Amino acid sequence: MNFTMAHPSRHRGHGLFALPFVVACVVLLGARFVVSPQLLGKGIGGAKESLELRQPLGKMSKVDIGRYRFKSNLAITPAVEDALGAKDYLNWLFVDTSIKNQRDPLRYVRLFLTYYSGGRDLVPHTPDECFLGSGYRHIEEANLKMPIDSLGIDMPIRALTFEKSDVFGRDKPTVLYTFHCNGDFTETRGGVRIRINSPLNKYAYFCKIEISLGGSGSDIGSPGRDESIQAAQDFLNVILPRLVNDHLPDWDAAISEVEDQTETSPGS
């Protein structure tokens, strides 16, 4: 594996009235009075407009996905579906056919996608809290840079390992997730908020992409953390181009539309 840890930068504090802080306040106050109608039209101070998926997630092709075979659509209860509040979602189980042992937890790959767009103050749901509510506890967490050669990027992704003791023994599932938000990937809810609340964006969307391996809560169990991360990378290299290119909105086209409307609007 070739993953790098993503660490937040640290800056030494200089006090409340340090020069950079004062300058920033002056700039923000000044901008309050000189914001143009064109920028207001892009979304400052209001709800964002929706962007539709190019195709519903449920119409994702199940063929030509390398060594992976679609196994089943995992049901979600009405209560969970209502709590998600997503415009569209997908919860599919795949089998890695290169692994012949049917009790090998690495053989089973769960892909859970949820899509949100428009409105205001969108708050992503993440496994960080959901697993804790199911009786698990965190034992390891990290933000990683995962090479996705099929897209030519080092994708930010968050890897969480939990632990729970039950009748099947001690289960230690690893769950990985990232967001595709306004044309880019981010692994944190803060990153999503920054992008969808940008005053320069008329539209807003994000898709949470969540991967887990094995049979969490079953007698199959879960693979180790490093194995799970590597298996997730292998699967994402295959499935992400399909998701990004065939289903998620064309963000560049949305930006171009807004720019064209701004240039042709009266007084521009």
Query: What's the angle, vertex CA 169, arms to CA 164 and CA 175, rounded to 5?
Result: 40
The answer to whether residue 211 is domain-embedded is yes
* Nearest in space to 248 (alpha carbons), one of 257, 235, 239: 239
The answer to whether residue 22 is domain-embedded is no
Q: Is the pTM value of this prediction over 0.95?
A: no
More confident residue, 77 or 21: 77
The answer to whether residue 262 is domain-embedded is no
| DSSP conformation letters of 182-245 | TTEEESSHHHHHHHHT-TT-SB-EEEEEEEEESBTTSSSB---HHHHHHHHHHHHHHHHHHHHH
Percentage of the chain surpassing pLDDT 90?
A: 55
SS3 content of the chain, % helix, strand, coil (to 5): 30, 30, 35
In the numeric block, the tokens 């199911």 are attached to 134
The pLDDT value given to residue 42:
45
The answer to whether residue 30 is domain-embedded is no
**Each residue's pLDDT tens digit, 47-97:** 899 999 999 999 999 999 999 999 999 988 888 888 888 889 999 999 999
The answer to whether residue 11 is domain-embedded is no
Structure tokens, 6: 């993503």
**Each residue's pLDDT tens digit, 126-184:** 888 777 777 788 899 999 999 999 999 999 999 999 998 766 567 899 999 999 999 99
CB atoms closer than 10 angstroms to residue 221: 17
The answer to whether residue 50 is domain-embedded is no
The pLDDT value given to residue 255:
87
* Nearest in space to 208 (alpha carbons), one of 127, 132, 106: 127
The number of distinct structural domains making up the chain is 1
Distance of alpha carbon 11 from alpha carbon 264, whole angstroms: 43
Percentage of the chain surpassing pLDDT 70?
A: 76
The answer to whether residue 246 is domain-embedded is yes
Average pLDDT over residues 201-214: 95
Residue 208 exposed, middle or buried by CB count within 10 Å (0-12, 13-18, 19+):
buried
The answer to whether residue 36 is domain-embedded is no
Q: Which domain holds residue 138?
A: 57-255
The three-state DSSP-derived secondary structure of 8-21 is: CCCCCCCCCCCHHH
